[in-house]
Structure 1
Amino acid sequence: MEIKTVSIIGLGALGIMYAHHFSKKFSKENVRIIADQDRINRYLKTGIYCNGELCDFNYVTPEESIPPSDLILFTVKFEGLQNAIRSVINHVGPNTIFMSALNGIISEEMIGEAFGFDNVLYCVAQGMDAVKVDNQLTYHHKGKLVFGDRKSGIISEQTRAVEKFFQLVELPYEIDTNMKHRIWGKFMLNVGVNQTVAVYKSNYGEVLKEGEARQTMIAAMREVIKVAEKEGIGLSEDDLSYWLTVLGTLSPEGKPSMAQDVDAKRLSEVELFSGTVLKYAQKHNINVPVNKLLYEKISSIESEYVR
């Protein structure tokens, strides 16, 4: 199995970063950016820039009939995932590998339900500090994609194929044979850092220093550990320390996606973060007061510009 064609859907911060990287390291015509025609026209008119460089992407519409892609990477926001799944149908063949760089803990399940789980690899993007404002993406740290199989303890042919491709295009990566644990760990970090920085309307620097914001972030993360325990996921204080170390590698001036949404007055992924924690907490009769407060505060912020 060899990856010769890649399709990416979703030109947010991660989508632009990976599309730009692949297009420079791989043949442009074999890196397909899926978007509807109106979006393509807008992209071509305004341009998309990555660290000041104009991106030269190969756009295709969902309706376009083309040979299947060997790898499809989802980089949309969660609320756009169902539409993205419908949009990639013409890119799917029997051996197409699926990866999702979305936040949260359920995107792989949704993709697997649509296309079958045999070729779905679990994935988290970590350690990047990409910030997108309008058509401009900037980042200092590209981070890495951590991926592996749905079943723990194995390394499949599909995982090896993606590894070989990432080596070819020189994309930082890590293979993890316990991806469910890794995904919950990244979820824990996102619940803490995304929501806290959004509520404090600041940047990573606010939670990298000692103070109220950092305490809030860590308290929200500890509530995820409580929920994960009830779900049979062995998150611990060691995992919290690991993800705080990952956070410490980011540029203090950078911002997570939810803070960028608040700045742009867009609806955020609050339901994916504290909304999910609250649902699990209700299921297991657990108190999660910090996440409840963050949910209420972010919902209040959004209510000011969504009428």
Structure 2
Amino acid sequence: MLTTYPSIAISGIGSVTVTIIHALSQNQIPFKILCRNQSRFQSLKNNPISFQGPNGKIVKIDLMSHLTMTQDNQEKFDYILIGCKNQNLSEYLEETKSFLKPNGKWVLIQNGIPELQFKSYTDKIIGGVVGWNTQTLSDHTYYQSNVGSLILGEAKGTKPDSLWEKLLSPFLPVVLTDKLSGFRWHKLAINSIINGLAASKQVSLGELFLNQQSRVEALETLTEIKQVMNRLEITEQVVPGSFPIQKLGGGPGSLPRWICHLILILLGLKYFRIRTSMVQDLDANRKTEIDFINGEVVKKANKLGISVPRNEWIVQKIKELELKN
């Protein structure tokens, strides 16, 4: 048990940050939540969050004593976790930079490779790769469907302070790394199919991976990303509980196609009803993060002169769906 704590704030409350809040609260770690609008502040003040972990246990988390309006905050923090979508990240960093202590750091838990957007802040950023899925159920309970891990790595290429393991474990396993880009690209590839491809068809993971043509398209998507990673000389780091892209993507080192299809079928069966975040965004007529997932792949591929038609198709299809909504 820690006797002294770093000062922690969270800006942006959603499925991922609520999972982290659950771990902090279970470990009795102090933290602040910076609310950007009054209605959200009142809602969190009046209604404890309902959180269900992979073990099925439902926990009520009372956040009343943790809340402050962003414009009223007078504190400075060692760490500020940013829980917004990529397209809003610049706004959130600008809004919270005066709240960081001189040696304070942001923790970016977005999908994609958000560190690349803010190279001038490299010394002040820790990247967080999320290895779990949390959804909001119809009764507003946050449901974490798998144990997962939080992989943390300094944007400058070193390991973060080991205190993070004490802050979040055992409720949220932590992996500290000096190879953040390897984990980022692995998760980017996974997201390109479970978010990007699934959203292009607006289906659950079961509907996606139990369809043979969709599995073929998923493997094509991963093969293109594997080519980009190899050209960039990215050494893949596999998120615990996941599977290496180097083995699923075609070309050198890949598994036989029938095994790749079997792995995707098993994934579809395990997470049959899961509609991942980008699918839910389209369901709710919200703008997606496609530019930062498959769009990031397309951007890098174009610079390298690599053809990635499947990823291009996914980006185009989702942009068409966004316009229809």
Describe how 1:120-135 pairs up with structure 2 within 5 A.
120-126=125-131, 128-132=132-136, 135=140
CA 1:33–1:241 in 2, change beyond 3 Å: closer, same or farther? farther
Describe how 1:131-210 pairs up with structure 2 within 5 A.
131-132=135-136, 135-152=140-157, 154-155=158-159, 158-167=160-169, 170-209=171-210
State the alpha-carbon separation in 1 of the partners of residues 310 and 224 from structure 2: 8
Report the Cα offset of residue 124 of structure 1: 0.4
2:293 corresponds to: 273
Report the Cα offset of residue 14 of structure 1: 0.4
1:71 corresponds to: 79
Report the Cα offset of residue 162 of structure 1: 2.1
Residue 259 in 1 paired to residue 265 in 2? no
Note the residue ranges of structure 2 that are not aligned, 5 or more in a row. 53-57, 238-242, 250-259
State the alpha-carbon separation in 1 of the partners of residues 60 and 145 from structure 2: 17
CA 1:211–1:260 in 2, change beyond 3 Å: closer, same or farther? same
Superposed CA RMSD: 3.0
1:295 corresponds to: 315
Residue 284 in 1 paired to residue 304 in 2? yes
Note the residue ranges of structure 1 that are not aligned, 5 or more in a row. none
2:31 corresponds to: 31
Report the Cα offset of residue 217 of structure 1: 1.7
State the alpha-carbon separation in 1 of the partners of residues 133 and 73 from structure 2: 35
Question: Residue 217 of structure 1 aligns to which amino acid in structure 2?
Answer: A
Residue 118 in 1 paired to residue 119 in 2? no
TM-score (norm. length: structure 1): 0.83
State the alpha-carbon separation in 2 of the partners of residues 71 and 207 from structure 1: 38
Report the Cα offset of residue 233 of structure 1: 1.8
CA 1:303–1:119 in 2, change beyond 3 Å: closer, same or farther? closer
State the alpha-carbon separation in 2 of the partners of residues 255 and 110 from structure 1: 28
State the alpha-carbon separation in 1 of the partners of residues 118 and 25 from structure 2: 25
Describe how 1:96-111 pairs up with structure 2 within 5 A.
96-105=104-113, 107-110=114-117
Report the Cα offset of residue 9 of structure 1: 1.5
CA 1:69–1:232 in 2, change beyond 3 Å: closer, same or farther? same
Paired residues, number: 295
| Contact in 2 for aligned 1:3/1:70 (Cα 8 Å) | no
Report the Cα offset of residue 145 of structure 1: 0.2
TM-score (norm. length: structure 2): 0.79
Question: Residue 144 of structure 1 aligns to which amino acid in structure 2?
Answer: S
State the alpha-carbon separation in 2 of the partners of residues 198 and 83 from structure 1: 26
State the alpha-carbon separation in 1 of the partners of residues 312 and 190 from structure 2: 16
Q: Which moved more, 1:293-302 or 1:46-55?
A: 46-55
